Every structure is written in C-alpha cells, then in structure tokens.
Amino acid sequence: MRMNSSIAAPVLQIRKCGMNDLERVTALLREFGYPTTLSVMKERLQDMENDSLHCTFVAELDNEVVGMIGLRQISSYYKQQDCITEITALIVSEQLRGNGLGKRLVASAEEWARQQGCCQLFLRSGNRVERAPAHAFYRHIGFEKAGYRFIKAL
C-alpha cells in the first residue's frame, strides 16, 4: 500500500510571542471574554517584552496562532525558594480545545519557570459554573485547588 505523500499532519509550534502576534493574541483574549483593543494590547505586549519577569508563549498550528499563555515571575514570602511563576492567561481557541494545546502551553510554562529558578507554578480561576471544564483540565494536568481569592475594587 502506498501512502499519499501530499497529506501532511498539522505542525504545532510553541514559541515566544512577538509583536507580529498582536492581532491574533488580541482576538484570542476577546474570544475568551476579555474586552481589549489592539492599541492597549500593543502597549501591554511591549511592556512585557521589555520585562524579564514576564513571558508570553503562543501555540501556532500550521502558521496560525491558536493559543497563548502569559507568565509572571514573582517573589514569594512563604516559599523556601525565592520565586514562583503565575500563569496570568491561558487561552486556546474554542474550536481546538481538548486537543492537547493547553497541556503543551503549560508544559512550556513549567520549563520557563524552572529555567528562572522557580519552585512553583500557580494560576487563579473564577468559581463560576462555566469555569468547571477549565478547573477539571487544571486538575487533570496536576494542579491542586488551594485557597480562595478575595478582591476589593479601589
């Protein structure tokens, strides 16, 4: 049996986000329900690009950005080692969820955090019922639920 050599599997690449990704990252944030504009996102990405404590990765499938993860290294008062990494954003395009892209993005985050000397990776998530699938995903890839989040508007 001969295989048709013109059939190719999709190519997934996890890479650092650049300014060329601005439009697609903005679209992903909007898709996820975070209203933002290109100009606001341009400022944020530029600030984060120039800050060694931040890192943004994108998941690119066949040359199209279909996911992203934002990271922030912070110092800890309560951990023995000095730094921990927060996932500040994790988004996979809705039609591609459940295909391992989020897991690959988190694996890249873990690798980056270890390279920074961090001892822990954490994220925050709302407790709305529509977040239940995300919470199941986080538990599935090894996160444990710990504590509550309290906020106060200023």
| Separation of alpha carbons 120 and 84, rounded Å | 5
Q: Residue 3 domain-assigned?
A: no
pLDDT cut 90: percent of the chain above it? 52
Instruction: For residue 70, count other CB atoms closer than 10 A to its CB.
Output: 21
- Residue-wise pLDDT for 10-57, tens only, equals 788 999 999 999 999 999 999 888 888 999 999 999 999 889 999 999
Question: 84 is in which domain, residue-wise?
Answer: 12-140
pLDDT, residue 2, reads 47
pTM of this structure: 0.85
- Residue-wise pLDDT for 115-124, tens only, equals 998 888 999 8
- Given the structure tokens 């996979």, which residue do they identify? 92
Token digits for 61? 């499938």
Q: Provide the number of structural domains found in the chain.
A: 1
Q: Residue 39 domain-assigned?
A: yes
Rg (CA), the chain: 17
Q: Which of 116, 126, 119, 123 is nearest to 78 (CA)?
A: 119
Q: Residue 152 domain-assigned?
A: no
Q: Residue 124 domain-assigned?
A: yes
The CATH number of residue 50's host domain is 3.40.630.30
